[in-house]
Structure 1
């Protein structure tokens, strides 16, 4: 029985407790109230999860402990306090949050059951109806969380618990400044994908105990139907749309309403479940209702028919007018096909762009840019940002005093020379921690791999964005290039502010990987 404390876990440490100083023991009573009964497991952050007893109320509880407490436990405790204010049948109840300085712990509801992760590991992929039911419960819980202005930040197969009585509960909120409402919603797509295929679609910076999804040459996960025949087409599309950041994510209440419609259809064995039509997100209107109108398909068909009739009438009307106004009689209806070819502002034909592809980057294409004054001691690590390995990367030194490199320089970055000018669609940067301020800059040449060259480069290169760079809100930072007609050979990913180091002794980050997508 797994009651993990954090979803994004590595494999459990089977050797025993991680805590050394202040390590708990079976039978110990915390805060004169919570008696520890059994050590269940450890999560990736080194926190222990125990099954315990509230000796006052005589009920089972889960106790999540970490060492040390104090400032380093602030995020865990604040998330627990915030979660305790939201009462919902699909959210695990949080009872207490205590800081003893040498250690801190959160006391929450004990759920008799297992995590979605362990359920899939033991039984394989779920049938579509059950996958929908679980995703619906999680989305409903997120709707309640988001309605309070909070973010959960830890929607994962390890934090979704399936109780023995069938109840689905979302546990262990972990939200900090790097997490977003959109991230929560897209994570539901990850749960659907995992439930349908038993594979995890997200590329995580840290090692994951979950089996990775089957991926194409560009690293994108294959659609569930390609590995699991029988997944309804609509459910397949919904899952992939939630995972695709190029597709706008719905609000959590809209997703709840859509999954509620599917859940009800599946439970009733309604024929509509196999052929449910277009997305209904727009019908929620911000409401959390899970009962959209049953007449919606007819309305959509009727509106569609009217649009088709109007277009046909417009086309024939224009042709009739142009035909009668032609002086030589050659411009008859059906004689002008110019409208069938897209054109640019000058009337020239426009060829639609193909799907963007991940560009191949090699070690000889990248170098470190260290704004003067800089000692360039870590220059040989630049190649690790394009080696395809999320466990390696370029690490900055630890800077004291201020996040902007200790007020010592303009910044640092990685310059990429593509060898030839290429049209770009997206730049992706994967970092060890969130909270990095960076942007993408371009220029026409590399003035030289030296301090003098870097100084000239920063003077000449211009940012692709007109907006002031903002801190990254997660370990994955995506920048969409809006101008697909301009080509670039030199691309600079430039960091201007660093997050606090994990040790808390200054400011530092590791850039694990940089990816460019283009044509």
Structure 2
């Protein structure tokens, strides 16, 4: 099977970058204990996945290697250490995490079987009962992870492994500062959606090399029942609710309980098990739908009350025929005049058109400003053009340079949903900053930006693909100036050494 080291990736990274200097070889023994047997695959973050043998315990292991080690591997190693503390039948066991400086590696349980990604690719979309069983196992694993205060951060068809004995396990936690419990739970909706349709909803769950969801003219994903027959309505609703950020995400244990009931139904009962819809209350307890008979009784009571009210009004009206008619002032209608309470759906974010005169390069401090003018390529809608950073000797730019970025002036303050950035390769450390003014396209102006602009979110992100989505904006605030800032660069992919990247497109979405 493909023991995938990472879930989220892009199509261009399917083969992944291959390590050369210091690359491991078959038969090599790491840490005097783990012998490499077979190179299985590479992932989009530049890591290699090997099948190996623990020569002391004589058991098969999966070894995920990353080059280089050191600070750049800290998040991978920390996530592995955190994951090793959670023991659960639906989580892959983590045995070791080692940093050698030039390379780092995680040693974990080897699972004989296949990933959900491979299963769907080979067999096509799964039947609803099988999809439910897999999602139930993943939700149960997340409940154990979240109970410790941690998040997984890498729930994906590539990290969802189905063993030959039928066990479903979640592998390769990769949580960083941008991950949270809600994203984990949305990803369970993504697992259901992928299992039922063979598509992965990029905008709702995260970018991937898997095919995106089919979408309507407004960009909303088509529901599983619109794509294939035989998906029960309540499973369809649950899947779409998990993907809809306007609907509160359930806690992992609540979702586990819901999926467990569906999973426990026999094949004959599955179509008749009935809806188990719920919403989140203030105490995060699931509120389940009332049985149909209760709803019917309630409806009859409402009808009776309405009939009684109109009957009383008719009697009163007949007794007051000689009285002058009363005028109801606007805004002071009776209860019967008021429309039923309805929840206004949240507006859908739309792409904000950007032009060349709305963007510029920020190059602090005392930069040579050779990149001035290339910002226009990031908003021209053409992936073949790009802002190509200069080649630097160090990933962090060096010479006390904090980084470089693209400043966007939206022309007026607007409420924003997210910013999406397309790059030539993964491994870029970047984030979003915002301020109240553009002090000028000059070295002094760029210096003022660095001293006054505030970073949004929990910190910069190390991108694991070529498209990164930043949903870091406060829905109650408006923004005019947005800075997409790069603080570390990946190794240049042209073989000439140094560090550089191409920023191909920047898109801003708002209301």
CA distance in 2 between counterparts of 1:141 and 1:73 reads 25
Change (3 A) 1:277 1:302: farther
Aligned to 1:367: 359
Aligned to 1:92: 92
CA distance in 2 between counterparts of 1:313 and 1:473 reads 62
TM-score after normalising by structure 1: 0.74
TM-score after normalising by structure 2: 0.75
SS, match of residue 238 in structure 2: helix
CA distance in 2 between counterparts of 1:114 and 1:198 reads 16
Change (3 A) 1:266 1:310: farther
Aligned to 1:169: 169
* Structure 1 position 356, deviation (Å): 3.7
* Structure 1 position 197, deviation (Å): 0.9
Superposition RMSD in Å: 4.9
CA contact (8 A) 2:86 2:144 kept: yes
CA distance in 1 between counterparts of 2:455 and 2:48 reads 41
Change (3 A) 1:404 1:394: same
Q: Deviations over 1:6-39 (max 9, x none)?
A: 1123469898982222222222222222121111
CA distance in 2 between counterparts of 1:322 and 1:428 reads 58
Structure 1 counterpart of 2:324, from 303, 315, 328? 328
What does 1:292-303 align with in structure 2 at a 5 Å threshold? Answer: 297=291, 301=295
* Structure 1 position 312, deviation (Å): 4.6
SS, match of residue 291 in structure 2: helix
Change (3 A) 1:309 1:147: farther
* Structure 1 position 494, deviation (Å): 2.0
CA distance in 2 between counterparts of 1:404 and 1:17 reads 27
SS, match of residue 235 in structure 1: helix
Q: Deviations over 1:429-449 (max 9, x none)?
A: 12465762434869xxx99x9
* Structure 1 position 425, deviation (Å): 6.0
CA contact (8 A) 2:7 2:156 kept: yes
Q: Does 2:431 align with 1:415?
A: no
Q: Deviations over 1:346-399 (max 9, x none)?
A: xxxxxx799546246253573338599888654544444444567876678876
CA distance in 2 between counterparts of 1:480 and 1:285 reads 23
Structure 1 counterpart of 2:482, from 455, 472, 494? 494
Structure 1 counterpart of 2:469, from 476, 500, 516? 476
Aligned to 1:515: 508
Aligned to 2:48: 48
CA distance in 2 between counterparts of 1:257 and 1:201 reads 24
CA distance in 2 between counterparts of 1:506 and 1:20 reads 16
* Structure 1 position 427, deviation (Å): 3.2
What does 1:234-253 align with in structure 2 at a 5 Å threshold? Answer: 234-253=234-253
CA contact (8 A) 2:407 2:482 kept: yes
Aligned to 2:419: 429
SS, match of residue 212 in structure 1: coil
Aligned to 2:433: 438
CA contact (8 A) 1:426 1:516 kept: yes
SS, match of residue 260 in structure 1: helix
Aligned to 2:128: 128
CA distance in 2 between counterparts of 1:353 and 1:375 reads 49
* Structure 1 position 302, deviation (Å): 8.1
Q: Does 2:347 align with 1:358?
A: no
Q: Structure 1 regions of 5+ residues with no counterpart? A: 344-351
CA distance in 1 between counterparts of 2:211 and 2:183 reads 21
Change (3 A) 1:128 1:353: closer
CA distance in 2 between counterparts of 1:10 and 1:67 reads 20
Change (3 A) 1:451 1:307: farther
Change (3 A) 1:207 1:233: closer
CA contact (8 A) 1:437 1:498 kept: no
Change (3 A) 1:337 1:193: same
What does 1:72-471 align with in structure 2 at a 5 Å threshold? Answer: 72-203=72-203, 208-265=208-265, 267=267, 269-273=269-273, 275-276=274-275, 278-279=277-278, 297=291, 301=295, 308=302, 312=306, 328-330=324-326, 340=337, 355-356=347-348, 358-359=350-351, 361-363=353-355, 366-368=358-360, 378-388=371-381, 413-417=407-411, 426-431=416-421, 436-439=431-434, 469-471=456-458
Which deviates further from its counterpart, 184-193 or 11-20?
A: 11-20
Task: State how many pairs are aligned.
Answer: 477
CA contact (8 A) 1:277 1:297 kept: no
CA distance in 2 between counterparts of 1:284 and 1:271 reads 31
Aligned to 1:29: 29
CA contact (8 A) 2:403 2:486 kept: yes
SS, match of residue 6 in structure 1: coil
Which deviates further from its counterpart, 16-25 or 175-184?
A: 16-25
CA distance in 2 between counterparts of 1:2 and 1:243 reads 27
SS, match of residue 222 in structure 1: coil
* Structure 1 position 309, deviation (Å): 7.2
SS, match of residue 436 in structure 1: strand
CA distance in 2 between counterparts of 1:170 and 1:97 reads 18
* Structure 1 position 85, deviation (Å): 0.7
